[in-house]
């Protein structure tokens, strides 16, 4: 099969730990958690409880902020999150702030993965400009939101040229759409 991550839905610590246990039993070891919806201190407590139970060698943790942090507080939050041996954080600030995101990517203690930042960037030259301006540690491709197979292939080509690792994911497609994404990957 293709190694994939699985989304852990936010909730109480007990609820999240149960989801993690269920997903580990099902064979997953790369888990993604949405952050930015709860109080940040509560989210840190949840990550602390997860890491007390599962080391970085047991599970790979990724977090997705969906642009929830402000440019003013993002570096402090990234520093605090870096203590949890996270693989990466997706889109820590809102998309469209290329200069701010570039500054963050230059000094971040935690690798940044662009997600929403790529949506709506269709021109080849704009894609090059985005990658060269921001210089992210990773990009995340959603073919249905990035111009289909052709658009995603172009992003892959540009990311490879710029030595930026990438991975592919879905955008809530049907089973048919998921099958297409999996076959493309």
Catalytic residue among 23, 34, 77, 94: 34
DSSP letter for 9, please: P
DSSP letter for 123, please: S
103 catalytic per annotation = no
Q: Is 41 left (phi over 0), alpha (psi -120 to 50) or beta?
A: alpha
Residues 6+ positions from 67 with CB-CB distance below 8 Å: 36, 91, 92, 93, 94, 95, 116
Catalytic residue among 23, 103, 142, 163: 142
Residues 47, 23: Cα–Cα separation, whole Å: 16
Nearest to 166 by CA among 124, 127, 123: 127
52 catalytic per annotation = no
Task: Report how far apart the first and last C-alpha atoms of the chain are (Å, whole number).
Answer: 11
**Catalytic residue numbers?**
34, 142
């Amino acid at each position: 099969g293709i190694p994939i991550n699985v989304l852990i839905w936010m909730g109480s610590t007990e609820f999240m730990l149960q989801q993690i246990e269920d997903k580990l039993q099902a064979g997953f070891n790369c888990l993604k958690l949405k952050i930015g919806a709860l109080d940040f201190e509560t989210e840190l407590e949840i990550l602390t409880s997860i890491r007390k139970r599962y080391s970085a060698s047991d599970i790979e943790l990724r977090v997705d902020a969906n642009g929830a942090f402000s440019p003013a507080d993002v570096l402090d939050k990234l520093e605090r999150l870096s203590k949890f041996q996270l693989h990466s954080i997706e889109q820590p600030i809102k998309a469209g702030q290329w200069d701010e995101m570039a500054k963050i990517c230059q000094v971040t203690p935690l690798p940044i993965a662009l997600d929403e930042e790529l949506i709506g960037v269709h021109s080849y030259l704009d894609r090059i400009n985005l990658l060269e301006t921001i210089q992210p540690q990773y990009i995340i491709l959603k073919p249905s939101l990035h111009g289909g197979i052709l658009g995603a292939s172009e992003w892959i080509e540009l990311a490879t040229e710029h030595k930026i690792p990438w991975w592919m994911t879905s955008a809530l497609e049907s089973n048919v759409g998921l099958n297409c994404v999996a076959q493309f990957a």
